[in-house]
A and B are shown apart, each in its own frame.
Chain A
């Protein structure tokens, strides 16, 4: 078995694959026979992997990394919590039984707030999958110490974090380090195909769009009596902005990123509204349950974005765009459509059986590392994170937020140098609930 060669073959067979993506790396267009020879030579070096953040997604990403390359080994793991680390390790050992790919010695299992650095020190490639608030500091350390990176979206929860990631994105390029960001639609064939179509002028210029992540919400972890406030927030992190950034950022960033990718730019301003009407319990921290934002681009294009966590409402995850020559619809299931201005379908791509984009992310990453290429996802990852942040700023404040003023904000949500004795940056009110942003009053910059 060789997933790596398999994926290389698949990439070769799709002529348009590299267009308008950042995936064009040296050697990709070589005949397969030559490429396999090359692969074998470079495959000699064992790549050591560290997993930072051992939740379900991190464990999934580690499994995908281990399957992406024959000569990669998981050597270190880090998590704030011992139980999370151990269950992740147990699951990976089971999955990779008999392969010798999971070799995490007891002394290389690190727990706590300083665990990430210790684990990264032992690795060539790192997976950054803690709650997003920690991403900028972890990414900074990874790049400064010369690691290749897979990191999940979003890449920060506040603007100082975004600026740090942008700075490190530049440094990563200089140091020729590969960085893949888990905006996996950029590795999903139907989206790549549509980006190519847009480049070829199939819909003219995009003038407007609507992007959606409307669903019922996500998990809640209830407070346990023995927990400190900090531990509770770290366990139930989805509902605290310094850790999560609100669901417009944590989840809806996927669709917002598609808008940026397809329009070919980042918005100059945003305005919108939002609130919390259904999901209002004490276990639901401080985040909203719905946001609606208009993003305005420099050329005048406007994309409206809606995301909702309310059970029993219309669920929709996907994107629609209007161009000067036609209409686009894309969705997560693997389908894309183009209709002409007369409403008739002129193009359809249905890829229900396309490769798993989450696996593709790691196949590309390791392929590029082996060939000395440079995948540089951090910049668009940071800028789409910033886009979602200005969306959140708009719904929290009820004001027009411009990119240029927001990007200068020094309002940090996550404290530096946390330890288990630290006070969390937000605390419950006397009645056990948390302060909720109020449009017209809340300061966001």
Chain B
């Protein structure tokens, strides 16, 4: 069972999580007041890793070079990709007023003050379904970021999109090869991709997890991360930027998308693979200006979330969640 509805278990794990701040962190389950749905969060230990591809990786693209040592502070990452059901809690705005009994105190915001996404005119799953356990797609970077802001307001914990470095670190889970699993031949056990997806995404968590217990990092839906895309980001990276590096996006496009999806071949699923987002993902939006919240042609792009131990100062919120006021 991916989404636990056992409230006593939730309470216990929740208390553990709160106790753990500043100490060794544990996995926990985030409840959301007013809903039965929960989000399972996996504790990711601090560490160093080589971000990018080795010169010997024949399948690597030029934007993955040079690989460079990066230091990452501990954080939690959602075990699964965010689902339609979870995103609808934010979209429908029916539980904003419900208070979490054990709310964190890292963030003090009113949920109903967070900008709301527009209800889409069409079926944004493009026929693939929005039922229980299916990952959301066609969301924009802004929509995913605002979901994080809303969830933070609801829970009192600071949630955001993972940085590109955090994402790759978590995906690799200690591995240094092309994928987080040993042999490329076993890719079908770990990932939904072009060869086995049957032309659609699948429920989250059906394949094997990586060594740190994260599911669908490779394939199923590709995942938005916080960073703006720079082709030469690794080449430009200075020594002092090797601790928790991030490139905050300066424009709507391109931003980085990671992990590959049900539509991609196996090369696109590599741990180091970087895909830039493009305005073309809204090409069939008949409105002008086009929606800030929805893509019409990215049925392969979703996201997952992280929580950090030490939230940024309020003055920095917009860097992580986008502008406070949305036109």
A interface residue numbers (CB < 8 A to B): 56-57, 59-63, 91-92, 95, 184, 214-219, 251, 311-312, 314-318, 331-333, 335, 350, 352, 356-358
9 extra A-B contacts, CB within 8 A, seeds A215-B120, A311-B88 = A59-B288, A60-B287, A60-B288, A214-B123, A215-B121, A218-B119, A312-B92, A317-B122, A317-B123
A316 touches B123 (CB 8 A): yes
Give the tally of cross-chain contacts (CB within 8 A). 76
User: Is B323's CB within 8 Å of the partner chain A?
Assistant: no
Whether, in the assembled complex, B130 has its beta carbon less than 8 Å from a beta carbon of chain A, the answer is yes
Residues of chain A lying within 8 A (CB to CB) of residue B287: 56-57, 59-60
Complex: how many Å from CA A169 to CA B71? Answer: 69
The segment from B38-46, B205-213, B243-251, B278-286 found at the interface with A is: B278-286
By beta carbon, the residue of chain B nearest A92 is B288
Instruction: Flag whether B176 is at the interface (Cβ < 8 A).
Output: no
CA distance A356 to B125 in the complex (A): 18
> What chain B residues lie within 8 Å of A315 (beta carbons)?
123, 125, 129-130
Does B297 sit at the interface, judged by CB under 8 A? yes
Q: How far is the CA of A318 from the CA of B88 in the complex (A)?
A: 22
- Chain A residues near B289 (CB-CB < 8 A): 56, 59, 91
3 nearest A-B pairs in the assembled complex, by CB-CB distance? A333-B126, A56-B287, A60-B288
**B199 CB-CB contact with A under 8 Å:** yes
Tell me whether B118 is interfacial, beta carbon within 8 Å.
yes
Indicate if B22 sits at the interface (CB-CB under 8 A). Answer: no
Q: Are A217 and B119 in contact (CB under 8 A)?
A: yes
- Closest chain-A Cβ to B51's Cβ sits at a distance in Å of 31
Cα distance A321–B40 in the bound complex, in angstroms: 42
Please classify how large the interface on chain B is, using the bins under 10, 10 to 19, 20 to 34, 35 or more. 20 to 34
Specify the chain A residue showing the minimal Cβ separation from B121.
A218
Q: A366 CB to closest chain B CB, in angstroms?
A: 17
**Docked-complex contact A335 and B127, CB < 8 angstroms:** yes
Q: For the complex, is B312 an interface residue (Cβ under 8 Å from A)?
A: no
For B266-302 the 0/1 string (1 means CB < 8 A from A) is: 0000000000000000011111111000000101000
CA–CA, A335 and B128, complex, Å: 11
B286 touches A333 (CB 8 A): no
Judged by a CB distance under 8 angstroms, whether B131 is at the interface is yes
A356's contact among B120, B122, B199, B283, by CB below 8 Å, is which? Answer: B283
Q: What are 18 A-B contacts with C-beta separation under 8 Å?
A: A57-B287, A59-B287, A60-B285, A60-B287, A60-B288, A62-B288, A63-B288, A92-B288, A215-B123, A216-B88, A219-B118, A311-B88, A315-B130, A318-B127, A333-B126, A335-B199, A356-B283, A358-B286
Shortest A129–chain B CB gap in Å is 10
Q: What residues of B have a CB within 8 angstroms of the CB of A95 in the complex? A: 288
- In chain B, what residue has the closest Cβ to A334? B126
- Chain A positions within 8 Å of B92 at CB level: 216, 311-312
The minimal Cβ–Cβ distance linking B99 to chain A, given in whole angstroms, is: 22
Q: Are A314 and B122 in contact (CB under 8 A)?
A: no
A66 to chain B, nearest CB (A): 11
A284 to B127, alpha carbons, bound, how many Å? 27
Chain A residues within 8 Å of B118, by CB: 219
B123 x A358 contact (CB < 8 A): no
Distance in angstroms from A307 CB to nearest chain B CB is 12
Distance in angstroms from B155 CB to nearest chain A CB is 22
Per the bound structure, the CA–CA distance linking A317 and B283 in Å amounts to: 19
* Measured CA separation A357–B284 after assembly (Å): 7
Partner among A91, A215, A216, A357 whose Cβ is within 8 Å of the Cβ of B288: A91
Q: Which residue of A lies closest to B263 (CB)?
A: A352
Decide: B288 and A332 in contact? CB cutoff 8 A.
no
Complex interface: chain A residues within 8 A of B263 (CB): 352
Q: How far is the CA of A215 from the CA of B124 in the complex (A)?
A: 9
From B119, B127, B130, B199, A332 is in contact (CB under 8 Å) with B127
A60 and B286 contact, Cβ closer than 8 Å, known pairs A311-B88, A312-B88, A352-B297: yes
Contacts of A312 in B (CB 8 A): 88, 92
Contacting B199 at CB < 8 Å: which of A63, A318, A350? Answer: A350
Q: How far is the CB of A330 from chain B (nearest CB, A)?
A: 10
Asked if A331 contacts B127 (CB within 8 A), the reply is yes
Q: CB distance A317 to B127 under 8 Å?
A: yes
Contacts of A217 in B (CB 8 A): 119
Name the residue on B nearest A314 (C-beta).
Answer: B131
B283–A333 CB distance below 8 A: no
B284 touches A356 (CB 8 A): yes
Tell me the complex Cα distance, A214–B124, Å. 11
Residues on A with C-beta less than 8 A from B122 are 215, 317, 332
B144-186 residues with Cβ-Cβ distance < 8 A to A are none
Q: Chain B residues with Cβ under 8 A from A61's Cβ?
A: 286
Inter-chain contact B285/A333, CB cutoff 8 Å? no
Considering only CB atoms, which chain A residue lies closest to B122 in the complex?
A317
B91: A residues at CB distance < 8 A: 216
Min CB gap A371→B, angstroms: 26
Known: A311-B92, A332-B126, A333-B126. Is A57-B286 also a contact (CB below 8 A)?
A: yes
How far apart are the CA atoms of A225 and B312 in the complex, in Å?
A: 40
Chain B residues 82-133 with CB under 8 Å of chain A are 88, 91-92, 118-123, 125-131
Residues from chain B with a CB closer than 8 A to the CB of A318 are 127
Residues of chain B within 8 A of A56, CB atoms compared: 287-289
Give the chain B neighbours of A60 by CB distance below 8 A: 285-288, 290
Which residue of chain A has the shortest Cβ distance to B291 in the bound complex? A56
Min distance, Cβ B223 to any Cβ of chain A, angstroms:
20
Chain A residue nearest to B282 in the complex (CB): A356
In whole angstroms, what is the CA distance A218 to B91 when docked?
Answer: 12
Residue of A nearest to B128 (CB): A333
Q: Look across to chain A and name the residue whose beta carbon is closest to the beta carbon of B285.
A: A60
| Interfacial chain B residues near A331, Cβ < 8 Å | 126-127
Give the CA-CA distance A414 to B125 in the complex, in Å: 36
Q: Output the least CB separation between B226 and chain A (Å).
A: 27
Minimum Cβ distance to chain A for residue B284 (Å): 5
- For residue B90, give the distance in angstroms from its CB to the closest CB of chain A: 12
Q: In angstroms, how far is the closest chain B Cβ from the Cβ of A154?
A: 15
The closest CB in chain B to the CB of A317 belongs to B123
Contact partner, A358, options B119, B127, B284, Cβ 8 Å: B284
Bound together, the chains give a CA A62 to CA B122 distance in angstroms of 21
Interface-central residue, A56, A214, A311, A312, by most chain B CB under 10 Å: A56
> Please, which residue of chain B has its CB at the minimum distance from the CB of A313?
B130
Q: Which of A251, A333, A356 is most buried by chain B, counting CB atoms within 10 A of its CB?
A: A333
On chain B, the residues within 8 Å of A63 by CB distance are 288
Q: How far is the CB of B63 from chain A (nearest CB, A)?
A: 23
Name the distance in Å between A63's Cβ and chain B's nearest Cβ.
5
